[in-house]
Amino acid sequence: MEKLYKTINTIRPPDAVIYNTALERLAQQARPAGSLGVLEHLSARLAGIAKTIDVRLENKVIVTCAGDHGVVAEGVSLFPQEVTAQMVYNFVNGGASINVLARHAGARVKVADLGVNHDFETNLPIFHSKVRKGTSNMALGPAMSREEAVRSIEAGIGIVESLLAENPVDIVGTGDMGIGNTTPSTAIIAAMSAIAVERLTGRGTGIDDKALRNKIRVIETALEVNSPDPNDAIDVLSKVGGFEIGGLAGLVLGAAANHIPVVCDGLISTAGALIACELAPAAKSYLFASHRSVEAGHRYMHEHLDLEPLLDIKFRLGEGTGAALAMELLDAATRILADIKTFDEVAIINAQLQAGNGKG
């Protein structure tokens, strides 16, 4: 656990002086105070993280973490487990939803295998970070060992380190792929919040009422069988989580330790963020919620993290698609802060123009 503890201890708060300077500039701009809504606060937060008023999110990357789940054996998904590996290849070939939206946002997509039940070719251009070929069935016992849970988190941290070794990174988006992974994600927020599973559980891939009742039963059984400790995030992850969820938690921690903002996608990515912020509350200052999924538990995750999503457009895909769209809003927020003139700057410019006209 050395890498994990070292990373947690490295996380420091964003620059409060720059943050307050940004707020002052926003208040002095030539427009009604607060007229650009939440983008104003976003811009100040980004300035504090980047330690500059002129933030440039030029190097964007979305990491889609993939993993399989033993709980699929309980009939919690419409799709077979093999789809996870098929979608990894689709991501690599650039043909998935996240590839299209990321290109529009100017972001690179990187895929990470944390626990897919498939042997990928070693030369496939992904992060080969597999902990194991899928978790165990959490309805029968722990999804993974505590040691495996730590390994999955540290793998996510390592991915951030590898990205930085190759190129600068100005912002990280988190995404997921894993058939059945809304089930462990819902179990995580249930374990941490003590909210009734029935209120938290959504339809995932589009299951019918009968399958939804079964999914609720499976999650309740997993919580009863495993008794995850809500005060121990690693215990929660190991008992009812997923390898890709651990990887997503590691991405948040690794980015925060390197002063990089993280824009979080849907239910599964936010489950990873929950684990990360329980381990390191300081990481939340680097976290941005991209959107609110139609999955019932997502709202409660946001409430637990005290985060407001930027979008609510009925997404429920994952992959990092919401993060890609949110990056465009965050880009706009940076320009609002740096480029809109203050009343004093407008007066100076007008005076210069008048002086120039007078000379003519």
Annotated catalytic sites, by residue? 319
- Neighbouring CB atoms inside 10 A of 90's CB total 18
Name the 3-class secondary structure at 13. coil
Residue found under tokens 């997404």: 315
Kindly report the number of other CB atoms within 10 A of residue 358's CB atom: 7
Tokens of 201: 């559980």
Looking at residue 72, what DSSP letter applies? G
Q: Do residues 277 and 300 make contact, with C-beta atoms less than 8 angstroms apart?
A: no
Question: Which residue shows structure tokens 């929660």?
Answer: 236
Please choose, from the candidates 97, 172, 98, 96, the residue with its C-alpha nearest in 3D space to the C-alpha of residue 330: 172
Residue 241 neighbours by CB under 8 Å, 6+ apart: 135, 143, 144, 149, 184, 187, 188, 271, 275
Distance of alpha carbon 341 from alpha carbon 46, whole angstroms:
19
* Residues 6 or more apart whose Cβ sits within 8 Å of residue 2: none
Q: Please, what is the Cα angle at 125 between 1 and 123, to 5 degrees?
A: 95
Alpha-helix runs per DSSP H in 228-266: 233-240, 243-257
